[in-house]
Amino acid sequence: MQRSGKKLKGVNYAKYGYIFSIPFILVFLIFSLYPTVFTAVIGFTDFKGVVATTFHFLDKPFANFQKILANATFQKSLVNTVVIWIINFIPQLGLALLLTAWFTDRRRKIHGQGAFKVMFYMPNIITAATVAILYASLFGYPVGPMNDILTSLHLIDSPFYFANDPWAAKLVVAFIQFWTWYGYTTIILISGVLGINPELFESAEIDGATSRQTFFQITLPCMRTILLFTLITSLVGGLNMFDISKLYIYNGGPANETMTASVFIYTQAFSGTYMYNRAAAASMIMFVIIAVLSVLVFFLMRDKYEAKANKEMRRMKRALRKAGKEALQ
């Protein structure tokens, strides 16, 4: 036993931390970091055309960036992305908060919560490409279930071309986003409420607070971090929206009414004139926007993890001491 104790001290286990991280680091460097740098470099060159493999740096390094920022379609795609995100996110958060308030109210008992959650979350798991084409069919013109309902109820006289109207197109895309994500947001918010110290709710109850007061004075303030987290992750997700806006109306529509930034990058790079350099510049602009948002999330979450890391250190030290003692015995 004495011998193994000595051996334990002699072996340096720290190196295994490095060894076991190698696959991650290697793959990250090759498949993430290198493509990122490569994309950034292409943004400063004249690289375009489907078969091109060589490129030269531009005399004016920021020419691609200037062109992209001045590009009307890119501006429109950014505005579309934000507009669609806002029309989807505000009702989504409102409904999720309402459902959270109802499902976590200690004074009522809602039966079948599990089944409801399963139903609300279901659209989120279904392939977005399928959902987009399904909605294109449901809102089809002139033959489509939605037009069938509206004409049967005599709300409209003749079929409505949903995909051809700028606002109707945006609204349908925003609705699809809303419909796919509100269940997710609800579940996240409910789990956030369940993480709040129950003593707070108990003392509010004893003080005679109503359900409404409890929700607005205790639940909501305690959920500030998780609400911000939901907001920013949803914004980043919205900025990357691709499948639905690409497929609901092909490539964002003839007038680019539902074109998002991701669809713009895709069409610039992988169709028509294959403008890799412009698409790369647009990608880097998006990268910067998303990086800024990510930093926000990072600072939001940091304190919590630092506290956890300290706790873990103490635990580790204790475990080491214990292990050392055991080994010596």
Residue 181: CB minimum distance to another protein, A? 9
Measured between alpha carbons, how far is 148 from 304 in angstroms, rounded to an integer?
53
Residue 76 CB, nearest distance to another protein (Å)?
A: 18
Is there a contact between 258 and 252 (Cβ–Cβ < 8 Å)?
A: yes
CB nearer to another protein: pick between 190 and 218? 190
**Least distance in angstroms from the C-beta of 322 to another protein:** 6
Nearer to another protein, 9 or 60 (CB): 9
Instruction: Classify residue 280 as exposed, middle or buried by CB count within 10 Å of its CB (0-12, 13-18, 19+).
Output: buried
For residues 107 and 154, which CB has a smaller minimum distance to another protein in the complex? Answer: 107
Q: Minimal distance in Å, beta carbon 145 to another protein?
A: 4
Q: How far is the CB of 129 from another protein (least distance, A)?
A: 4
- Of residues 73 and 233, the one with the C-beta less far from another protein: 233
- Would you say 4 or 273 has its CB closer to another protein? 4
